[in-house]
């Protein structure tokens, strides 16, 4: 019955969709309460489906956060099972990150206090309990996070949530004959839903509309386009706005990735346009293509009987309605400025190999690992020095593409198989699909602001069945050497003003020392000797940004972060 409905949709994009798209509520403010709970939903005729949700039956509210504000998240676990909540893509301390070590037991509340340091963009939250991530996400726990900042606010962009700024969480699930969600790795994801709505439609005003698209599926990659083959524009990648809108007719989105899109519906009043995944165009060795492996012999059991595989299918029906007052009608020319770290400033190149290297017929069913090592909660796989700029080289020797995700940081892709990434992947990223059969991705990032010698961050494949199966590793960002304290402060203590425009005064110094100002790449930009216990540094010729002042106070070397306007 179910596959009949899907098959019918496949060949009939014009079919009127049945269900209004669910738009999750929003939560704002400096204190946000989230309750993880069991629920039930009537996805199909017959028995209700047992689900999990946040403050409701399925999915969770969209959290709207402002950069530079601090928010307390009170996450109460009202489930029967342990869980965790990870703020995917956000730059937070490892203790606040909600990885597998930060377990919330049933009946208890976890309350991390999170300074929002991220660029305006679309992030998300989901459980990360070791070996249960897929199960808890599939049952319904996931929500979006929208970060706003002044840079984004200054641009002419749609931002009326649910009206011209519409969230689209794309997911597939597997159901059994009694309508229950099944999470065994062999269960096939035949049911597609957007924001938990099967076969959805949404009214879109006749103007430029922004969509915040999350691939929240456990395995499936989408190849997104419009049924009228209209050009659309990607304005943001995982970690915020791009330099400029990138025009496209297809967007490939792998599990965990986000994209903000602008679609101009002007002139289409009364018409209906479908968002479609063009699976027939996906190359082999990607989950969702006709052939999920490199070779014809590499098969996932029952893969070909899933009507979504290797097929074009409708994601959502857009019904164009009247424009709103003050409609946005143009696509901006430029967006934000990026200053990626330079390879020349990196301290180390770290390599990770996706294994096993096995091209045999069953190789596509895993188990997959990094460097032939299964994830072990007790084993730290990488030690990263605090403030290191690093290049990570990812080599995928397996026969299927894996979406690699790393916590703590956003990264810039240097190259994919030796070639610069496409424009829409030149912004900040936290997930990248690494091509199969020896594919190589190199990225650069910096491990700044947080360190903790005991609580690690994770990196893993964001195909959640692979993550749960052991394709995950953990890294510690190491505390700086003894005697060096970094104190993040704003306008107090012995250094002011901060932020600073021209002259920075430093007092309470030990006499006779050299004070240094270091930029984000670790380069000394000012080095000034002082015999006195106070000094004034002239910063007027420096470009705006973050710098570190290194000086000695009571015989301790201190590093303080400052912002130059
Ligand atoms: Cu979205 Cu470690 O996960
Ligand atoms: Cu994987």
Joined together, the tokens standing for residue 524 give 């000394």
C-alpha span between 534 and 512 (Å, rounded): 10
- Are residues 390 and 360 part of one domain? yes
Q: Is 100 exposed, middle or buried (0-12, 13-18, 19+ CB in 10 A)?
A: buried
Residue 46: pLDDT band (50, 70, 90) is very high
| DSSP structure string for 536-561 | EEE-TTSPSEEEEEEEEETTEEEEEE
C-alpha span between 289 and 309 (Å, rounded): 6
Number of helices and strands in the chain (H, E) = 4, 40
What's the mean pLDDT in 353-362? Answer: 80
Which residues 6+ apart lie within 8 Å of 102 measured at CB? 84, 95, 110, 455
pLDDT tens figures, 257-296 = 999 999 999 999 999 999 999 999 999 999 999 999 988 7
- Are residues 426 and 353 part of one domain? yes
Half-sphere exposure of 183 (CA within 13 A, CB side): 20
pLDDT tens figures, 390-416 = 999 999 999 999 999 999 999 999 999
Find the 220 Cα to ligand 2 centroid distance in Å: 11
End-to-end CA distance of the chain: 62
**pLDDT at 9 (0 to 100):** 45
In the chain, % of residues over pLDDT 70: 94
pLDDT tens figures, 481-519 = 755 455 544 444 577 777 788 888 887 788 888 888 887
C-alpha span between 273 and 128 (Å, rounded): 36
* Ligand 1 within 6 A of CB of 460: yes
Q: Which residue, of 452, 478, 504, is where some domain finishes?
A: 478
Give phi and psi for 371, each to the nearest 5. Answer: 50, 40
Joined together, the tokens standing for residue 532 give 């006195």
List CB-based neighbours of ion ligand 2 within 5 Å. 402, 461, 463, 466
Residue 186: pLDDT band (50, 70, 90) is confident
Beta pairing class for 86-88 and 121-126? antiparallel
- Are residues 531 and 452 part of one domain? no
What's the mean pLDDT in 158-170? Answer: 98
C-alpha span between 429 and 421 (Å, rounded): 12
pLDDT tens figures, 429-454 = 999 999 999 999 999 999 999 999 99
**pLDDT at 11 (0 to 100):** 42
- Are residues 530 and 456 part of one domain? no
Asked if 424 and 432 count as a contact pair (C-beta separation under 8 A), the reply is no
94 belongs to a structural domain: no
C-alpha span between 121 and 118 (Å, rounded): 8
Nearest to 139 by CA among 41, 214, 31: 41
Q: Which residue, of 418, 451, 478, is where some domain finishes?
A: 478
- Are residues 454 and 366 part of one domain? yes
Length of the chain: 565
Whose alpha carbon is nearest atom 3 of ligand 1?
Answer: 88
- Are residues 393 and 520 part of one domain? no
CA 28 to chain centre: 20
**pLDDT at 550 (0 to 100):** 81
Find the 262 Cα to ligand 2 centroid distance in Å: 30
**pLDDT at 561 (0 to 100):** 79
Which residues 6+ apart lie within 8 Å of 332 measured at CB? 155, 156, 157, 235, 244, 245
Q: Return the CATH number at 354.
A: 2.60.40.420
- Are residues 430 and 471 part of one domain? yes
Whether the pLDDT of residue 7 is over 50: the answer is: no
234 belongs to a structural domain: no
Asked if 438 and 398 count as a contact pair (C-beta separation under 8 A), the reply is no
255 belongs to a structural domain: no
- Are residues 503 and 465 part of one domain? no
396 belongs to a structural domain: yes
What's the mean pLDDT in 162-169? Answer: 98
Q: Which residue, of 419, 445, 478, is where some domain finishes?
A: 478
Residue 365: pLDDT band (50, 70, 90) is confident
C-alpha span between 298 and 300 (Å, rounded): 7
- Are residues 505 and 411 part of one domain? no
User: In the 8-state DSSP scheme, what is residue 96?
Assistant: G
* Ligand 1 within 6 A of CB of 466: no
Find the 334 Cα to ligand 1 centroid distance in Å: 30
Domain count, the chain: 2
For the sheet containing 222-226, what is the strand order? 19-20, 200-205, 312-321, 272-278, 222-226, 251-253
- Are residues 359 and 471 part of one domain? yes
For ligand 1, what atom is nearest to the CA of residue 126?
1
Q: Return the CATH number at 546.
A: 2.60.40.3080
User: Mapping DSSP to helix (H, G, I), strand (E, B) and coil, where does residue 533 land?
Assistant: coil
- Are residues 499 and 386 part of one domain? no
Nearest ligand to the C-alpha atom of residue 407? 1
Find the 468 Cα to ligand 2 centroid distance in Å: 10
Q: What is the mean pLDDT of the chain?
A: 92
Which residues 6+ apart lie within 8 Å of 325 measured at CB? none
88 belongs to a structural domain: no
pLDDT tens figures, 536-551 = 889 988 888 878 888 8
Q: How many CB atoms lie within 10 A of CB 111?
A: 12
**pLDDT at 530 (0 to 100):** 84
* Ligand 1 within 6 A of CB of 86: yes
User: Mapping DSSP to helix (H, G, I), strand (E, B) and coil, where does residue 7 land?
Assistant: helix
* Ligand 1 within 6 A of CB of 88: yes
Q: What range does the domain containing 384 cover?
A: 343-478
Find the 98 Cα to ligand 1 centroid distance in Å: 9
Residue 359: pLDDT band (50, 70, 90) is low
What's the mean pLDDT in 136-159? Answer: 98
Asked if 414 and 249 count as a contact pair (C-beta separation under 8 A), the reply is no
Whether the pLDDT of residue 201 is over 70: the answer is: yes
Nearest to 13 by CA among 209, 269, 271, 249: 271
* Ligand 1 within 6 A of CB of 256: yes
442 belongs to a structural domain: yes
Dihedral angle computed from the Cα positions of residues 224, 225, 227 and 229, in that order, rounded to the nearest 10 degrees: -160
* Ligand 1 within 6 A of CB of 91: no
**pLDDT at 493 (0 to 100):** 55
Nearest ligand to the C-alpha atom of residue 87? 1
Nearest to 386 by CA among 68, 93, 67, 87: 93
Find the 462 Cα to ligand 1 centroid distance in Å: 7
Find the 88 Cα to ligand 2 centroid distance in Å: 17
384 belongs to a structural domain: yes
**pLDDT at 3 (0 to 100):** 44
For ligand 1, what atom is nearest to the CA of residue 407?
2
Q: How many CB atoms lie within 10 A of CB 557?
A: 16
User: Mapping DSSP to helix (H, G, I), strand (E, B) and coil, where does residue 292 land?
Assistant: coil
45 belongs to a structural domain: no
Q: What is the pTM of this model?
A: 0.85
C-alpha span between 51 and 137 (Å, rounded): 10
**Strand spans (E) along 186-284:** 191-194, 200-205, 208-215, 222-226, 232-237, 240-248, 251-253, 258-264, 272-278
| Least confident piece of the model among 367-376, 411-420, 523-532 | 523-532
- Are residues 529 and 409 part of one domain? no
In the chain, % of residues over pLDDT 90: 77
Whole-Å CA distances, 58 to 176, 382, 411, 442: 18, 36, 31, 37
């Amino acid at each position: 019955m179910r596959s009949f409905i899907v098959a019918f949709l496949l060949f009939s994009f014009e079919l009127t969709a049945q269900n209004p798209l669910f738009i999750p509520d929003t939560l704002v403010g400096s204190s946000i309460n989230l309750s993880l709970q069991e629920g039930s939903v009537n996805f199909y005729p017959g028995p209700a489906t047992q689900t999990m949700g946040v403050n409701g039956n399925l999915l969770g509210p969209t959290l709207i956060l402002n950069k530079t504000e601090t928010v307390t998240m009170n996450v109460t676990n009202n489930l029967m099972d342990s869980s965790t909540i990870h703020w995917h893509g956000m730059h937070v301390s490892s203790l606040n990150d909600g990885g597998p070590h930060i377990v919330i037991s049933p009946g208890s509340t976890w309350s991390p206090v999170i300074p929002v340091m991220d660029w305006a963009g679309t992030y998300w939250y989901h459980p990360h309990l070791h070996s249960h991530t897929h199960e808890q996400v599939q049952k319904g726990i996931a929500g979006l996070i929208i970060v706003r900042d002044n840079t984004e606010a200054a641009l002419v962009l749609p931002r009326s949530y649910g009206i011209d700024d519409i969230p689209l969480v794309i997911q597939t699930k597997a159901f059994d004959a009694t309508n229950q969600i099944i999470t065994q790795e062999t269960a096939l994801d035949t049911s597609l839903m957007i924001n938990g709505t099967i076969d959805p439609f949404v009214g879109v005003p006749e103007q430029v509309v922004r969509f915040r698209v999350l691939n929240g599926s456990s395995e499936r990659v989408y190849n997104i386009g419009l049924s009228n083959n209209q050009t659309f524009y990607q304005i943001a990648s995982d970690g915020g706005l791009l330099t400029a809108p990138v025009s496209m007719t297809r967007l490939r989105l792998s599990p965990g990735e986000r994209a903000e899109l602008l679609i101009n519906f002007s002139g289409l009043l009364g018409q209906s346009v479908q968002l479609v995944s063009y699976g027939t165009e996906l190359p082999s060795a990607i989950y969702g293509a006709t052939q999920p492996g490199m070779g014809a012999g590499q098969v996932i059991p029952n893969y070909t009987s899933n009507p979504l595989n290797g097929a074009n299918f409708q994601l959502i029906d857009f019904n164009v309605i009247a424009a709103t007052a003050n409609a946005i009608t143009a696509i901006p020319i430029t967006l934000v400025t990026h200053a990626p770290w330079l390879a020349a400033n990196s301290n180390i190149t770290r390599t990770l190999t996706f294994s096993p290297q096995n091209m045999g017929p069953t190789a596509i069913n895993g188990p997959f690992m990094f460097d032939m090592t299964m994830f072990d909660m007790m084993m730290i796989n990488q030690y990263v020095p605090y403030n290191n700029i690093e290049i990570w080289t990812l080599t995928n020797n397996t026969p299927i593409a894996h979406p690699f995700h790393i916590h703590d940081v956003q990264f810039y892709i240097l190259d994919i198989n030796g070639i610069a990434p496409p424009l829409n992947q030149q912004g900040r990223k936290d997930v990248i699909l690494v091509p199969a059969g020896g594919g190589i991705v190199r990225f650069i990032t910096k491990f700044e602001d947080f360190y903790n010698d005991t609580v690690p961050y994770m990196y893993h494949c964001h195909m959640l069945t692979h993550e749960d199966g052991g394709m995950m590793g953990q890294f510690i960002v190491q505390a700086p050497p003894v005697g060096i304290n970094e104190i993040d402060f704003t306008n107090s203590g012995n250094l002011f003003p901060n932020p600073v425009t021209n002259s920075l005064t430093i007092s309470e110094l030990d006499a006779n020392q050299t004070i240094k100002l270091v930029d984000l790449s670790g380069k000394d930009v000012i080095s000034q000797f002082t015999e006195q216990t106070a000094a004034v540094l002239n910063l007027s010729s420096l470009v705006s940004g973050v710098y570190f002042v290194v000086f000695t106070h009571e015989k301790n070397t201190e590093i303080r972060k400052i912002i130059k306007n």
